[in-house]
Amino acid sequence: MSLLEVEHLRIWDGRTGVVLVPDSSFRLSQGECLAIVGESGSGKSLTCRALMRLNRSGIRQSGRIILNGVDLAKLSDKELRPYRGRRMCMIMQNGMRAFDPSRPVGAYLLEVLSIHYDWSRSEMNTKLSAAMTSVGLQDPSAVMGRYPHELSGGMLQRVMIALAIVLEPDVIIADEPTTALDAVTQYEVVEQFVQLRGRIGSAIVFVSHDLGVVRRIADEVLVMKEGVIVERGKTSQLFTDGSHPYTRYLVSSKEAIRSHYLQLMGGTDVAEG
């Protein structure tokens, strides 16, 4: 049985009438990781934010978004609020945008938890500290006392992952979570997602244009081009035997970049690594 079902999702600009995503449908089972790939402007992030109705003002949407049998599209903003965070948790590309810059990070985390649970402040601090330690954040109390601008992009991503560990959502939506990170931090954050999935069994929608990251984490892949899903299938199948020209273009472009990198680094065997 599917945990999340998206049926005929349509997204358009309410001011101009321009259709951005004409008709997308997909399903996600518990514990599964579904990646959405494509170039910038392909509709990945729009789709991602539409699942939680978080697109900017003026962007309209229609269709069904069914989570555990509940059609979220039929809920009012007030009715949807308990689902955001507790049932579906979004980890954004730019960690700085996820936090209020005028408050310490810990104030935001405690506020989110207080909305969804009736834990005491001591219980929340204990759970957050344990989760932060588990994702490699040293001295959690110091991290919680800092403002967002005092933390690096990698640290902010880890803070959001730690919050997801405590919330234990049914679905985690990760919108380009590694784009702004250096290679080492990117690897570490991806490994945190792999461990998070195994630890709490959440389903993951992983939005990315980095096929190397997708190959590491995803079970299935949707390929989007200009708002349209042009191909879908198992990750291994799409990387080796993609049928759509755009899929083959994305894979070949990734391999060309990788080959060039190996040449610069003195590597000779492109098939290795």
Is there a domain that residue 48 lies in? yes
Higher pLDDT, 269 or 101: 101
Q: How far apart are alpha carbons 5 and 68 in whole angstroms? A: 9
7 pLDDT tier (thresholds 50, 70, 90): very high
Is there a domain that residue 75 lies in? yes
**Structure tokens that stand for 208 in this block:** 């990315």
Q: Which residue has the tokens 């507790």?
A: 86
The tally of domains found in the chain comes to: 1
pLDDT, residue 262, reads: 44
Is there a domain that residue 11 lies in? yes
Higher pLDDT, 176 or 75: 75
pLDDT, residue 246, reads: 87
Q: How far apart are alpha carbons 262 and 272 in whole angstroms? A: 10
Domain that holds residue 84: 4-264
What confidence tens digit (pLDDT) does each residue in 151-169 have?
988 889 889 888 988 998 9
What does pTM read for this prediction?
0.84
Q: In this structure, what CATH number is given to the domain that contains residue 247?
A: 3.40.50.300
Q: How far apart are alpha carbons 174 and 93 in whole angstroms? A: 8
What confidence tens digit (pLDDT) does each residue in 39-91 have?
888 999 999 999 999 998 899 999 999 999 999 999 998 999 889 988 999 98
User: Strands across the sheet with 59-67, in order?
Assistant: 19-28, 4-13, 59-67, 70-71
Is there a domain that residue 271 lies in? no
What confidence tens digit (pLDDT) does each residue in 129-148 have?
999 998 888 899 999 999 99
The pLDDT of residue 273 is above 70: no
